[in-house]
């Protein structure tokens, strides 16, 4: 708990007071009846493989944990993990071919009871994956007796278990998913969360099936079916198991955009939007947490970041979230949950008359020319290099279409910003054009978007070669 020194100016005099941010802000959640001191939960994965790990996590500050999936006896392989490393980023994407818990069910149940004894106010959710209705009924009774606060149905594993008709094999079949959810809801006396697979073209289909089956809540996403790379000696996919490999479940920072998109799709559906959502997928920083909450999640689950950095990252998640909430004037996460949803729309409803253009801050520019290269080779030739010996490129405003590329490649924060160029009085969308039958239908139509755009003559691309041949450097 951090004490923050605040300054107040009152009646012309400066005084200080010690304020505790946590006294003002309540991070506790009630997720479909599952209570926890904060929204930071561990996803069902290797970090929740044992009571030892979960107690260690709770002691570090995590509010809940979804136990590594329990079910039938399994045999795991060696090796199990692979990753996608991008430039200086280790584990930009993470892949695993590990199955559900291979530890004896009795050991897991005993440890689950022990965890609840020491941490009665923290959320312990049992992730389950079995086959028949009788097996579901039996294991639900066992985890209830062990003190679990809730159940998560694992309908997402894209390897191993799906080959046995479970995991993503269920998540990709909405009718089967609905049937199993109905079985579980009939048998369970504690809240039920249905975990969805992203390995489907339309996430609303299984989401709707779960809601129709009367699930209490939904969590998403599980891992994405993938191959992260090929070993250039054995020619086998990573991770290599005795010279062979297979597809794994992909997670980590690389899948966050997919997770946010699918969460949005569910939260904007009229029959699903009132179902509590637990967001999963690439959460590593407090900003990630805020983004998931803004799209409607009221708990978040973390796996890869913990496997990479350890349980201690929860301190950064908590302090960052508290800072954000204090700055915005929020006291609970419910104050801003879903606040971004009204601003997510279809492309056809975007304002075609809105115009932004790039602006370079000369004081911050380091003259690396990355913006020029990106724009000239990959975009709209709207940046000119200096000819007067200076190091600062310039924006050719008449050519700039506001694509953002230059600002995205610039290595200096806020050196290139996108500035609003229109006065905001005009508003027109593709939908409005369609409704009023004003859509351009020929390339020569003055209403067509690309007519009149500046493009250099093709021969300009070879000008440097002609200079080289002439001996000009």
Two domains, one topology: 24-343 and 347-437: no
Specify the CATH class of 347-437 in words: alpha beta
Q: Read out DSSP for 198-218?
A: S-SS-THHHHHHHHHTT-SEE
Query: How high is the pLDDT of residue 249?
Result: 82
Query: How high is the pLDDT of residue 425?
Result: 92
pTM of the model: 0.89
Could you tell me the end-to-end alpha-carbon distance of the chain, in angstroms, rounded to an integer?
63
**Tokens read off for 170:** 């269920």
- Cβ–Cβ under 8 Å, residues 279 and 299: yes
DSSP state at residue 241: B
Q: Distance between CA atoms of 79 and 59, rounded to whole angstroms?
A: 30
Long-range CB contacts (within 8 A, 24+) of 432-436? 433/352, 434/348
CATH of domain 24-343: 3.20.20.70
Query: How high is the pLDDT of residue 390?
Result: 84
**Tokens read off for 426:** 């005009």
- Nearest-5° Cα angle at 450, 444 to 456: 105
Query: Per residue in 68-101, is it b (16+ CB within 10 Å) or e — as a string?
Result: bbbbeebeeeeeebbbbeeeeeebbbbbbbbbbb
List average pLDDT for each run of 10 residues in the chain, which is 473 residues long. Answer: 34 42 86 98 95 98 96 78 80 79 93 98 96 94 98 76 58 86 97 94 94 97 86 90 83 91 97 98 96 98 93 97 97 98 96 94 94 94 89 92 95 95 91 92 77 82 60 43
Residues 6+ apart with CB under 8 A from 353: 422, 426, 427, 428
Q: Where are the domains of the chain?
A: 24-343, 347-437
Q: Is 410 a catalytic residue?
A: no
Catalytic residue among 157, 162, 365, 406: 157
């Amino acid at each position: 708990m951090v004490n923050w020194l605040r300054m107040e100016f009152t009646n012309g005099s400066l005084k200080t007071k010690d304020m505790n941010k946590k006294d003002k802000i309540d991070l506790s959640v009630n997720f479909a009846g599952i209570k926890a001191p904060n929204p930071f939960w561990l996803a069902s994965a290797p970090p929740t493989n044992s009571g030892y790990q979960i107690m260690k996590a709770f002691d570090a500050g995590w509010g809940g944990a979804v136990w590594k999936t329990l079910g039938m006896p399994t045999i795991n392989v060696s090796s199990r993990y692979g990753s996608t490393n991008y430039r200086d980023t280790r584990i930009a994407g993470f892949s695993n071919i590990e199955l559900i818990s291979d530890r004896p069910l009795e050991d897991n149940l005993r440890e689950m009871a022990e965890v609840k004894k020491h941490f009665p106010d923290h959320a312990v959710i049992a992730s389950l994956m079995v086959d028949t209705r009788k097996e579901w009924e039996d294991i639900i009774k066992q985890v209830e007796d062990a003190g679990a606060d809730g159940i998560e149905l694992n309908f997402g594993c894209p390897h191993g278990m799906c080959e046995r008709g479970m995991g993503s094999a269920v998540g990709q079949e909405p009718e089967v998913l609905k049937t199993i959810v109905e079985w579980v809801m009939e048998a369970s006396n504690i809240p039920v969360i249905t975990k969805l697979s992203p390995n489907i073209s339309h996430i609303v289909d299984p989401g709707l099936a779960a809601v129709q089956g009367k699930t209490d809540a939904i969590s998403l996403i599980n891992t994405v079916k993938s191959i992260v790379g090929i070993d250039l000696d054995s020619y086998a996919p990573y991770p290599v198991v005795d010279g062979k490999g297979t597809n794994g479940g992909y997670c980590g920072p690389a899948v966050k955009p997919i997770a946010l998109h699918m969460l949005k799709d569910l939260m904007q559906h009229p029959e699903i939007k009132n179902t509590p959502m637990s967001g999963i997928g690439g959460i590593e920083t407090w900003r990630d947490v805020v983004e998931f909450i803004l799209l409607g999640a009221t708990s978040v689950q973390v796996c890869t970041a913990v496997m990479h950095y350890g349980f201690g990252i929860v301190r950064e998640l908590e302090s960052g979230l508290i800072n954000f909430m204090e700055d915005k004037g929020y006291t609970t996460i419910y104050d801003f949950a879903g606040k971004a949803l009204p601003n997510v729309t279809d492309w056809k409803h975007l304002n075609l008359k809105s115009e932004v253009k790039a602006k370079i801050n000369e004081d911050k520019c380091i003259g690396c020319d990355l913006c020029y290269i990106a724009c000239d080779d990959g975009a709209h030739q709207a940046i000119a290099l200096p000819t007067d010996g200076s190091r600062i490129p310039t924006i050719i405003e008449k050519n700039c279409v506001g694509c953002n590329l230059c600002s995205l490649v610039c290595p200096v924060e806020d050196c290139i910003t996108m500035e609003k160029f229109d006065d905001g009085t005009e508003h027109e969308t593709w939908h409005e054009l369609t409704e009023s039958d004003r859509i351009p239908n020929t390339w020569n139509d003055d209403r067509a978007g690309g007519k009149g755009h500046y493009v250099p003559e093709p021969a300009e691309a070879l000008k440097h070669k002609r200079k080289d041949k002439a001996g000009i450097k």
